[in-house]
Amino acid sequence: MTAPTITSIRAGRIGDSPQRPDGRQKVTGEFAYSSDLWLDGMLWGATLRSPHPRARITGLDITGAVAMPGVFAVLTHEDVPGRETYGLERPDQPVLAIDQIRYQGEPVALVAADHPETARRAAGRIRVSYREEPPLADARAALAPGAPSVHPGGNLVRHVRVRRGDPDARAAVVVTGEYEVGMQDQAFLGPESGLAVPAADGGVDLFVATQWLHVDRDQVAASLGLDPDLVRITLGGVGGAFGAREDLSMQIHACLLALHTGKPVKMSYSREESFFGHVHRHPASMRYEHGCSAGGRLVYVKADIVLDGGAYMSSSPAVAANAATLGIGPYEVPNVVMDSYAVYTNNPPCGAMRGFGAVQACFGYESQMDKMAAALSMDPVEFRVRNAMREGSVMPTGQVVDSAAPVAELLRLVRDRPPPPARDTGDLRSLPGGVSNTTHGEAVVRGVGYGVSIKNVGFSEGFDDYSTARVRLELTGGEPSAQVHTAAAEVGQGLVTVLEQIVRSELGVERVAVLPADTTIGSAGSSSASRQTYVTGGAVRAACAEVRSQLLARAGDPAAGSPGNRPPGLAGAAGLGDLVALLGKPAEATVTWRHRPTAPLDPGTGQGQAHVQYAFAAHRAVVDVDTELGLVKVVEIATAQDVGKAMNPQAVEGQIHGGIAQGLGLAVMEEIQVAGGVVRNPSFTDYLIPTILDMPPVRLDMLELADPHAPYGLRGVGEPPAISSTPAIVAAIRDATGIPLTRIPVRPEHLTATQPDEGPDPPSAMIMGRNAPHRVPFDPRS
């Protein structure tokens, strides 16, 4: 059983925009997602989850489920043969709950049955007795002395300190602000799903939608107590990821059931279960103080950022590092005191999501930049430009930005775009509320706002970040054709197309096949951190160079010896006739490729060459707000982004539009509402994501300022669009309404002063003093 090989003979080299192989299939509904996997005789797995956010398990009786006809297995944590916990950075999360519950939805038991409905019903017959305990639901309160611990060792997951310059710096103009970010969900459309098939050698083959096959494999193998070689993972059709597939969901569960029953087991979450099946974006509570000279130069920034990591660690340490190191934005600031904390609570676990710590901070610092501009009576763009970072600027970590950082130029580009046309009150779709007919222009006020952002590309803090690629060139039917094999996950971003383009450009062949991603080749790293075109693209390029050298050597070309010498493609170098002759036997190379190394942050000062590459984007949002009803229509987004090299301009544009949609969602609608640790809206009826009628036209300026350190000069593009689009939209709403708006998503209640009565404020807790002893767990990535 194999996933389909994606072969393509479409033209298209680097810089072109060839059609993607999965596009038509996805639009017509023919694409096979991991939830479509099927084997005759397979069983269906179901998960029993805790309804309570915090509880002790005082009894667990599976007899009712075991007795049901059609049920093949009912498993609890006692059936986990290997390590009973897993986790990206530290294995603190039980495969199945061990005596206690730390969040609502925590898996307690598994069932395999011959029909999905039977499996679900059997799960319902498992009797679990819980002794409920009051959940720890407030992240700042979790840091207060005496707070009950979610895990032994306290609730602090990581405290990242960054210190630059004079911590006691003073300034002529000072503004402070407190900001909050709600819990956003990745809301991918293809729920968690996969198929585990037991193998004759005692191992297991897993077909699954994921972002990083090899970390899945290692965690699955540890919990199964198997050698990693006995766990073979093949990528299934992925219906979106955005970070939510970086942690495990059903992987270990399906494999456990498959090995236990000796039969293939499929698991596929429902939409509701999906909301409990993956990590979300960290909610944040942030305090900022900005000091500025009377002339409008930033003197200092002091900030603390508390990120609610929920019940388990996931990638919280790296998210905290991103928030800390990127937390003052793309500005030159000589004095910085930054403290970022990730904490455990009994809320849903949070981890990776597009923007990864940079999103939360950007809402804080960009809100502050507007506030400071107002305090100085300066134009908000002019104020940003005056403080903008450029190539050669020094980060608060001491790292020098050593490639293009066109922050001022990006800001000017969006500012100088002509304004969008006046609204057409004759077309309801162009008004806040849309066809719901709430206004014909009454009380509608236009506002304009700006945002600019910085994001690291790739994994940071000394992590060994590499990818592996095999390229093979051979004759098929008398024609040269290339095969590319990597373990890099195509999650919808268009990686397969880009890898084909690279091979065509490097080897000058038209026929290129991208083989299914699996673990029979070395790791490609994760499809996250805007890194996959950079790192796996780099590996494929390097493998192509190897293949070319081999062939040139066969041809006796003296250039073959020097890999740095890159003729413009084989066809050009050797001529197609020669190439056919040279390919009497195939040429093949497997290469492991690394970007330049990074270094850990100093635990006391946060100094270090922590990041590989920085990416920048600017946004101008124009909104129409019905100021009486508090409804918002985003009219237009103008954006400018430096992408280094547009490998596939259409794919880049797609990333930018999609990222803006996600940023818009966080600005005005997307929030998992959690009360006392309980999720109140686990469905697409009430977790709202933007529709096409919410998405405005995007005016895009794409800069291509090559990064000399990166393959082709490219710069990661996936995340920046989702970062400053949010504060730009909020700034535009502030501009229209004059309301300060310190929390996202902005709700109609915030714009009409009709928030629900919340009763007495929860006890407010101070963060432990800035000099409190800190603890830095091993933390490879950011």
Partner 1 sequence: MTTRHPPGSPGSAAVEFLRPRSLSQALAAKAELQDALPIAGGTDVMVEINFGKRRPAALLDLTGVRELRGWQRDGALLRVGSGVTYTRLEAELAGLLPGLAMAARTVGSPQIRNRGTIGGNLGAASPAGDCHPVLLAAGAAVEAGSVRGARLIPADAFFLGPKRSALADDELITAVLVPPAPGPQQFAKVGTRNAMVIAVCSFALELRPGAGVGTGIGSAGPTPLRARDAEDFLAAELAGSGLWESREPLPGAVARRFGELAAAAARPVDDVRGSAAYRRHALSVLARRALGWAWDSYRKEGHLCG
Q: Which is nearer to partner 1, 419 or 441 (CB)?
A: 441
The correct pick among 432, 525, 711, 720 for binding partner 1 (CB under 8 A) is 432
Q: Which is nearer to partner 1, 692 or 766 (CB)?
A: 692
Q: Which is nearer to partner 1, 70 or 165 (CB)?
A: 70
Is residue 437 involved in binding partner 1 (CB under 8 A)? Answer: yes
Rounded distance between C-alpha atoms, residue 134 and residue 157, angstroms: 21
Cβ pair 70, 115 in contact under 8 A: yes
- Total residues contacting partner 1 by CB under 8 A comes to 59
Is residue 91 involved in binding partner 1 (CB under 8 A)? Answer: no
Name the residue with tokens 């059936």: 79
The correct pick among 37, 209, 221, 503 for binding partner 1 (CB under 8 A) is 37
Cβ pair 354, 718 in contact under 8 A: yes
Is residue 149 involved in binding partner 1 (CB under 8 A)? Answer: no
Is residue 436 involved in binding partner 1 (CB under 8 A)? Answer: yes
Nearest to 326 by CA among 367, 293, 355: 355
Is residue 189 involved in binding partner 1 (CB under 8 A)? Answer: no
Q: Which is nearer to partner 1, 198 or 243 (CB)?
A: 198
Q: Which helix (H) or strand (E) holds 369?
A: helix 358-375
531-550: contacts with partner 1 (CB under 8 A): none
Rounded distance between C-alpha atoms, residue 220 and residue 77, angstroms: 14
Rounded distance between C-alpha atoms, residue 304 and residue 291, angstroms: 15
Helices (H), ranges, 184-328: 213-224, 251-261, 271-277, 316-325
Span from 489-497, 582-590, 600-608, 746-754 in contact with partner 1 (CB under 8 A): 746-754
The correct pick among 62, 147, 631, 638 for binding partner 1 (CB under 8 A) is 631
Is residue 15 involved in binding partner 1 (CB under 8 A)? Answer: no
Is residue 478 involved in binding partner 1 (CB under 8 A)? Answer: no
Is residue 117 involved in binding partner 1 (CB under 8 A)? Answer: yes
Span from 373-381, 605-613, 683-691, 770-778 in contact with partner 1 (CB under 8 A): 683-691
Cβ pair 99, 131 in contact under 8 A: no
Task: For the CB of residue 669, give the shortest distance to partner 1 in the complex, in Å.
Answer: 5
The correct pick among 562, 685, 764, 771 for binding partner 1 (CB under 8 A) is 685
Cβ pair 462, 782 in contact under 8 A: no
Q: Which is nearer to partner 1, 122 or 136 (CB)?
A: 122
Is residue 28 involved in binding partner 1 (CB under 8 A)? Answer: no
Q: Which is nearer to partner 1, 34 or 468 (CB)?
A: 34
What residue type is 280 in one-letter code? H
Give DSSP secondary structure letters for 518-549: BTTS-----S-TT-HHHHHHHHHHHHHHHHHH
Angle, vertex CA 132, rays to CA 80 and CA 308, nearest 5: 75
Is residue 82 involved in binding partner 1 (CB under 8 A)? Answer: no
The correct pick among 7, 25, 100, 270 for binding partner 1 (CB under 8 A) is 270
Helices (H), ranges, 344-463: 358-375, 380-387, 407-416
- DSSP annotation of 396 reads T
Cβ pair 349, 717 in contact under 8 A: no
The correct pick among 357, 420, 630, 659 for binding partner 1 (CB under 8 A) is 630
Task: For the CB of residue 106, give the shortest distance to partner 1 in the complex, in Å.
Answer: 19
Number of H helices, E strands in the chain: 18, 29
**What distances in angstroms separate CA 227 from CA 158, 203, 220, 232, 473, one per listed residue?**
31, 8, 10, 10, 33
Cβ pair 227, 519 in contact under 8 A: no
The correct pick among 16, 79, 133, 272 for binding partner 1 (CB under 8 A) is 272
Is residue 445 involved in binding partner 1 (CB under 8 A)? Answer: no
Is residue 686 involved in binding partner 1 (CB under 8 A)? Answer: yes
The correct pick among 84, 402, 474, 694 for binding partner 1 (CB under 8 A) is 694
Is residue 72 involved in binding partner 1 (CB under 8 A)? Answer: no
Span from 33-41, 213-221, 238-246, 481-489 in contact with partner 1 (CB under 8 A): 33-41
Q: Which helix (H) or strand (E) holds 288?
A: strand 284-292
- DSSP annotation of 63 reads H
Task: For the CB of residue 759, give the shortest distance to partner 1 in the complex, in Å.
Answer: 11
Task: For the CB of residue 653, give the shortest distance to partner 1 in the complex, in Å.
Answer: 23
Cα-flanking dihedrals φ and ψ of residue 398, to 5°?
85, -10
Cβ pair 107, 47 in contact under 8 A: yes
The correct pick among 176, 755, 772, 775 for binding partner 1 (CB under 8 A) is 755
Q: What tokens appear for 630 in the block?
A: 């508090």
The correct pick among 435, 476, 762, 772 for binding partner 1 (CB under 8 A) is 435
Backbone dihedral region for residue 677 (phi beyond 0: left; psi -120 to 50: alpha; all else: beta): left
The correct pick among 139, 514, 582, 668 for binding partner 1 (CB under 8 A) is 668
Contacts with partner 1, residue ranges (CB under 8 A): 1, 3, 32, 36-39, 44, 69-70, 113-118, 120-121, 207, 270, 272, 429, 432-440, 442, 628-631, 633, 668-669, 673, 680-681, 683, 685-686, 688, 690-694, 747-749, 752, 754-757
